[in-house]
A and B are shown apart, each in its own frame.
Chain A
Amino acid sequence: MHELSICSSMVGIVRKHAAGRPVRAVHVRIGAMRQIVPDTLSYCWSLVTESSELADTELRIEQIPAKIKCRGCGTERTLDAPVLVCPDCVGQTVDLVQGDEFLITTLDLAEV
Chain B
Amino acid sequence: MGRFHRHDGDAHDHSHDHPYDHSHDHSHANDHGDHSGYATGSERVVVLERIFEENDHTAAANRHDFDAAEVTAVNMMSSPGAGKTTILAETLRRLQGRLRIGVIEGDIETSIDADRLSGFGAAISLINTSNGFGGECHLDAPMVRSALPRLPLGELDLVIIENVGNLVCPAEFDVGAHASAMVYSVTEGEEKPLKYPVMFRSAQLVLVNKVDLIPHLDYDLKTFYRNLRNVNPGVTTIETSARTGQGIDEWCDWLCALRT
Contact = CB atoms under 8 A, between A and B. Distances in A.
> Which size bracket describes the interface of B in this complex?
35 or more
A110 B172 contact: no
B47 A13 contact: yes
Interface string A59-76: 010000000000000000
A97 interface: no
A35 interface: yes
A111 interface: yes
A106 B29 contact: yes
A58 B24 contact: yes
A96 to B, nearest CB: 9
A105 B49 CA distance: 7
Interface in A56-103: 58, 60, 81-85, 93-94, 102-103
B127 to A, nearest CB: 14
A53 to B, nearest CB: 15
Contacts of A108: 23-24, 42-44
Contact of B46 (A2, A47, A106): A106
A102 to B, nearest CB: 5
A95 to B, nearest CB: 11
A107 B171 contact: no
Which of B29, B42, B201 has the most chain A CB within a 10 Å cutoff?
B42
A53 B24 CA distance: 19
A84 B231 contact: yes
B230 interface: yes
Contact of A102 (B35, B38, B50, B137): B50
Given A5-B136, A33-B198, A111-B38, A102 B233 contact: no
B169 interface: yes
A94 B230 CA distance: 11
B173 interface: yes
Which 10 pairs show the lowest CB-CB distances between chains A and B? Answer: A82-B197, A2-B169, A83-B230, A111-B41, A108-B42, A104-B47, A35-B198, A103-B50, A111-B35, A24-B42
Given A13-B51, A13-B53, A82-B230, 15 more contacts: A9-B54, A9-B55, A10-B51, A17-B47, A24-B24, A25-B42, A33-B198, A82-B197, A102-B51, A106-B29, A106-B46, A106-B47, A109-B42, A109-B45, A110-B42
14 contacts: A1-B169, A60-B24, A82-B230, A85-B230, A94-B233, A103-B48, A104-B48, A104-B51, A106-B29, A106-B44, A106-B45, A109-B43, A111-B41, A111-B43
Interface of B: 23-24, 27, 29, 35, 38-39, 41-55, 132-133, 136-138, 140, 168-169, 171-173, 194, 196-199, 201, 229-233
Interface of A: 1-2, 4-6, 9-10, 12-13, 17, 24-25, 28, 33-36, 47, 58, 60, 81-85, 93-94, 102-111
